[in-house]
Amino acid sequence: MSDEAKDVPAPGVPVEHMLAMAPASSISRPVIAMGVAVFLCALALPQFSNAYVLEVGTNVLLYVVLCLGLNVVVGYAGLLDLGYAAFFAVGAYTTGILTAEFGFNFWLTIPIAMVAACIAGIIIGTPTLRLRSDYLAIVTLGFGEIVRIIARNLDITGGASGLIGIERPEIFGFRLFQVQHFYYAFLALALVTVFVCLSVERSRIGRAWLYVRYDEDAAAGIGINRVSVKLQAYMMGAVIASVAGCLYAAKMTAISPESFTFAQSLIILLGVVLGGMGRIPGVVLGAILVALLPEVLRGVGTYRPLVTALALLAVMLFRPTGLWPDRRV
């Protein structure tokens, strides 16, 4: 019997058993060893690098978190989201407004931002997640632009000029203000995000997402509530992006609508697709690629966008399923 046939549940099997039987991704020992080595290198990086390298490294870790969050939506549940930066903006503006305007402690703004992102996900997701493919992409694109335009036109968000005076966070009386402090903060956030994604991927809901990604109609036929399952993926992705936005706002101490454009959503989506949708090591690799490639190519001057586009095009031509694809699909 082929491996594909083994993954197909027998007719008449209850949905509870089918979800338990659904194939879960396995991370081999070499991959685990590679991950540990990468983590140790990242942990030691501030000891051997300057401020510029740390700034780039912090940006890489930010994209790792955002790409992992979008991977829940696109890679696990198979939903094409072109407005993911909107949830990033929700987290950033929630922290910015509460700390700069109302004097909230930074750490208290994180759960509030998570709730706000969940509410935003429910508002946009409940009426639209019945749509598929291109229609869903158009709706999410519109949602992203709506959030950016609202932020650009409200007084409380600072309008087009943005919001300034965001407080730096403190932990046990120690204020985070240097670039290496935020580097370690984003590294910790990336590790927590990887752990959460791995745990959810192997859970019952993760298996349900996999069935929906394979075939929505078949998933509905075995009793999976497609809208509910997709909404949970949408909300989880929104929460991850909002937490990243909170830390981003604290690091920058000033945010503007131009940080959350459609182009930002495309870059995050590009990291997921290039790395390999649905596979955490691949998504991390894709995030590193899209964050580092523009910096590596600074030496080519005005030709940097062209060389970057050609490099990405070459990857898509020769590795259409991503650099580290999910073998289950």
In this prediction, residue 316 carries a pLDDT of: 80
Q: What is the mean pLDDT of residues 58-69?
A: 96
283 has pLDDT over 70? yes
CA–CA separation, 39 vs 212, rounded Å? 33
Quick one: tokens of 194?
């990887």
Q: How confident is the model at residue 12 (pLDDT cuts 50, 70, 90)?
A: very low
Residues 6+ apart with CB under 8 A from 200: 72, 206, 236
141 has pLDDT over 50? yes
Average pLDDT value over all residues in the chain: 86
In this prediction the pTM is 0.90
In this prediction, residue 260 carries a pLDDT of: 94
Q: Which residue has the higher pLDDT, 329 or 263?
A: 263
Q: What is the mean pLDDT of residues 177-195?
A: 94
Residue 174 pairs in a beta bridge with: 171
Q: What is the mean pLDDT of residues 255-264?
A: 92
327 has pLDDT over 80? no
Residues 6+ apart with CB under 8 A from 322: 273, 274, 275, 276, 277, 279, 282, 286
Quick one: tokens of 174?
């120690």
In this prediction, residue 1 carries a pLDDT of: 42
Q: What is the mean pLDDT of residues 50-60?
A: 94
Q: Which residue has the higher pLDDT, 142 or 31?
A: 142
CA–CA separation, 213 vs 67, rounded Å? 18
Q: What is the mean pLDDT of residues 238-264?
A: 94
Residue 163 pairs in a beta bridge with: 255
Q: Which residue has the higher pLDDT, 129 or 21?
A: 129
In this prediction, residue 53 carries a pLDDT of: 93
DSSP H stretches of helix in 26-132: 29-44, 51-71, 85-100, 106-128
In this prediction, residue 13 carries a pLDDT of: 47
